Structure 1
């Protein structure tokens, strides 16, 4: 199979659906696409430094996630300082893991270019960051055996989704993780050279705003996890629900991605993120069943 062939087929079907007239309705999207103007990749430019929008929103995403985590810690009457330290360990692991997986994917082009990119303009691969955060958190739990793993992980899940919702807006502003070319009425067209230089987005081409799609999905996932947390049946339900649902959503969203250099497996059948997502989906589903069954047995 040609790399990206399945993606093109799915994208074409979505485009046809989106451009189809709505029966018995006067509602229409505007014919022109949204433009991402020159001001968005750079939030502030001074003679001394440039503040990139992506970097500012990435920092906001981390701060929002930490705020929600500490809020949950106080609600659960856990040590907020310990949870804050856990969050910082997870963030550090996520930063290293994101760059590490991006480096592995980019070996044919040269790893030095990946690490030369500032965190202010590129964060790396999300699943690499997720796995790096998990490994760093595992080490933290080993150093703090008094902290209940599943309880703390449940508190982290909505925080991660909230951070993703904010961070993906930064990707949109930078032209990073851009979508496939499309003619849907809500397409975005990048015009700033920085979007091409830093994010790789093609200029002047209408694209699926896949970053916005994922931001909306993660915001909805955050709301669902908050709702589910109030009805939690067993420890671990929230974090496993997050990994299960996000993996499924990300699998679909990958069909709309246009950055074909992000890595593929099985001859282009699946992207790297889809492959990792499938593994996480299966693991999460199995653990959900095991922990639910353990709860039922314990209640007898």
Structure 2
């Protein structure tokens, strides 16, 4: 695909040497996904009579937690590479964020923020759920551009082949477009949570539905991926996290149903 949008060589301006500057497609789409998710959550907050300013404040901690958690998990499941290349640990803009790790850390940061603000976390979970799905759908286009999160070899009509030497995916072989599968999963979660939000208003169940659906889709998509995501017996570390998301989602749905009825 296209890992780099633009690359500017070093140049002299007013006697100062500037550059080089590189705009990575991955970083652009991940940033766009975050911002679009926050913007949608602000829209949801307004619709529910809540302050959108809380979303913008919360958004900073969500973004910080998501980047730290997503990169930390990626580094943890690739210890040998980063032990030999420690200078690349913070170079997340080139690719290498695990959504599951980001979701965990962002959730912890968000809950801490809401607790400090004395806000109702269940209410805000419902506000944030659709935006998370939308952000995932957009951010995964960056994965496609960078070639990370690539799929296994296949001969399906919709298989994709990478040719750019900077791509993180194997070159010149048709692969499952798992990045697009993830993007579609995000859109499905976004659409389902929007369709059900009027039936779960302020209960927290909408986040439970999101976690159950997203975890299920993530587990299935992992079956078609070929990049290393950590081993845990016959399944990957990210599949374990996906199963945990499903279990947590089902628990939230049942727990909040009892408290609402």
Query: Common fold, TM-score beyond 0.5?
Result: yes
Aligned to 2:147: 175
Deviation, structure 1 residue 231: 2.4
Secondary structure of the structure 2 residue equivalent to 1:193: coil
Correspondence for 1:215 among 146, 169, 183:
183
Cα deviation code 1:85-110 (max 9, x no counterpart): 11111110111111111222122333
Cα deviation code 1:175-227 (max 9, x no counterpart): 010000111111100000110xxx2x111011000101111121121011111
Q: Distance in 2 between matches of 1:132 and 1:194?
A: 29
How many equivalent residue pairs? 250
8 Å Cα contact 2:211/2:248 also seen in 1 = no
Within the alignment, does 1:137 sit opposite 2:102 as a pair?
Answer: no
Aligned to 2:254: 289
8 Å Cα contact 1:69/1:84 also seen in 2 = no
8 Å Cα contact 1:106/1:114 also seen in 2 = no
Correspondence for 1:161 among 125, 129, 133:
133
Cα deviation code 1:27-85 (max 9, x no counterpart): xxxxxxxxx3xxx2111222231211111111110110110011111111212112211
Q: Distance in 2 between matches of 1:141 and 1:69?
A: 15
Aligned to 1:4: none
Aligned to 2:193: 225
Aligned to 1:42: 4
8 Å Cα contact 2:130/2:190 also seen in 1 = yes
Aligned to 2:222: 254
Q: Distance in 1 between matches of 2:184 and 2:173?
A: 23
Aligned to 1:116: 89
Segments of 5+ residues of structure 1 without an aligned counterpart are: 1-35
Deviation, structure 1 residue 233: 5.6
Higher normalized contact order (CA 8 Å, seq sep 6+, divided by chain length): 1
Deviation, structure 1 residue 149: 0.5
Secondary structure of the structure 1 residue equivalent to 2:92: coil
Structure showing greater Rg: 1
8 Å Cα contact 1:187/1:208 also seen in 2 = yes
Deviation, structure 1 residue 293: 2.2
Secondary structure of the structure 1 residue equivalent to 2:199: coil
Report the TM-score, using the length of structure 2 for normalisation: 0.91
Cα deviation code 1:240-262 (max 9, x no counterpart): 11111000000100000010x22
Segments of 5+ residues of structure 2 without an aligned counterpart are: 10-19
8 Å Cα contact 1:44/1:52 also seen in 2 = yes
